[in-house]
Amino acid sequence: MDETILSAGIDVGTSTTQIIFSRMTIQNTGGFGSVPKIEIVDKEIIYESEIYFTPLLSENEIDGDKVSDIVMSEYKKANLTPDMLTTGAVIITGESSRKSNARSVTEALSETAGNFVVATAGPDLESVLAGKGSGAARLSEETGKTVANFDIGGGTTNICLFRDGTAIDTACLDIGGRLIKVDENGRVTYIAQKLKKLADMSGISVSIGDILTSETAENICREMTEVIEQSAGLRKPDSRLELMITNHSMKSGIVPDIITFSGGVADCMGYSGEKQFPYGDIGVFLGHAVAASPLLTERMSETAEETIRATVIGAGNFSMEVSGSTIEYTFGSLPIKSIPVSRIKLETSVDIPSAGEQIRKGLSRYENRLTAISMKGLPCPSFKEIEAMADAVCAGAEGSDQSVLIIITEADIGKALGQALKRRIKDRDFICVDGISCSDGDFIDIGEPLAHGKVLPVIVKTLIFS
C-alpha cells in the first residue's frame, strides 16, 4: 500500500527567500513474497511561494521576524499547517549564512515550520541540493556523462559534479550577483570584501559611493567569470581562484562533459531589458559575462530544469533518504535531530577486531552528546561475522553513557545486526538502520517510522554552524 507524506523546502538566500511544498509517495517495490524494498516512487511539487527579497535589518543581520512572517503566511496560502509536514529542510545559503544571527534564525524556523523540518546549511550540501533540484543529477544518470551544475546566486556559486546520478565532487566560490549593490542612481552602496580585493588585484577601481559604470561592472563580472572558468578546469588556476574559494575547490580534477546553470544569475543570462541594474545589483552583468564565456561557447551546455528555484526544490525534494527495510530498533521517541556522526572503518572481516576500540573513541568524541556510529559494513556477512560485529559494538559501547545506541550501515545488514544486538543489549535502547551513507562530521536526523514501521526517514546534513 502506498503512503503519502508532505515535505517543505525553505531557502533563505543572499538575495531571495522562497518556500515550496511537495507530496512524496512511498511504496514497497519489493514484490509479493520478497523482502520489502521501500522507496520514494513519486515526488510532486504542490505549492511554490512567490520569490521574496531576503529581509535584512542591516548588512550583517537578517530580519528573523519578517522571514518567519513570510514562511507562516505561505503556509496559510498553501492551506497547510506545520504539524502536517513529515520532512523537509530549512536551508540558509550564501552570504545569509554569515550574518550574525543566521543560526538563531534557522533554529527558530525549524521549531515553527514543522516537527521534522530541519535547519541545515553548508556549502557542500547546498551544492548537492542545487544540482539535484536543477536536474543535473538526473541528466548525468540519463546520459551517462559527467555533468557539472553551477548554481550562481546572490553571494556564492555552488558547484556540484555528478556522474551516474551521484555527486562525486563539490566546490563553492564567493561569487554572485549581489556582491555589489547600487541605489537607483547607480551609486555603489555595498561591495563585498573579497570582491573588493579581486577588483584591486585586477586593477579595477570601485568603492562605496562611486557611480558604477557599465564598463566597470562588465570588467568586474568578467573577472568573476574567469574564476568560475578556472574552477571548471577551463582556465589555468591563479591567485584569483584561491582568493574567491569559500571552503575548497574541485578536488577530482575532472573536466565535465556537460554544464548546467541554476540560481538567480542563470535567469539573468538572457536579460534584455533597458535597466542596467534592475535588481539593484550586478546580477545582469554577471549573467551576460557567463553567457559569453567558454563555459557555454566551448563546452556542451544544457538548460537546467530549474534555475532560481533549484536549491529550494533540492531542499524540499532531495534532502531526505529512507533507510533500508531490513532494520531493527527499540527506541520509540522519534524524531531525534542533529545527531553527530562518527565514522569507523568496518568493511571486511579483517576490520572487526579493531571495531570495538574505534566505536569507543567515536562515542567519546562529542563528550556526553548522543552520537551515531556509521560504517560501510560487510556486504554479505556470515552468521559468525554478524555475531562478531555485534560483540564489537557492545564492547565499544560498554561504559559509555549513551542513552540510545545508534548504528548506521551502508550494507543491507541492519536487521541481522540489530537482532544480534537485541540479544546482547538490555540496559539501553538502540537504532540499527542500513542503506544510509554518511561521513565523519555529518549530522543526521531520524524521523518517525514510515511504511508501518518498516523504514525510518533519515536526513544527512552538513552544518555550517559548529
DSSP class per residue in 178-236: TSEEE-TTSBEEEE-HHHHHHHHHTT----TT-B--HHHHHHHHHHHHHHHHHHTTSS-
What is the share, in percent, of the chain residues with pLDDT greater than 90?
59
pLDDT at position 354 over 80: yes
Grid coordinates representing 169 are 565532487
Which pLDDT value is given to residue 273?
A: 86
Which pLDDT value is given to residue 31?
A: 58
Q: If we measure between CA atoms, which residue out of 44, 4, 6, 8 comes closest to residue 26?
A: 4
- The string of pLDDT tens digits covering residues 288-309 is 999 999 888 777 888 999 999 9
Confidence of residue 64 (pLDDT cuts 50, 70, 90): very high
Q: Can you tell me the mean pLDDT for 371-381?
A: 93
- The string of pLDDT tens digits covering residues 307-348 is 999 988 888 887 777 766 668 888 888 888 888 899 999 999
pLDDT at position 36 over 60: no
Q: How far is 16 from 259, CA to CA, in rounded Å?
A: 24
Cis peptide before 82 (omega within 30 of 0): no
Confidence of residue 107 (pLDDT cuts 50, 70, 90): confident
Q: What is the pTM of this model?
A: 0.80
Confidence of residue 42 (pLDDT cuts 50, 70, 90): confident
- The string of pLDDT tens digits covering residues 216-249 is 999 999 999 999 999 988 889 999 999 999 988 8
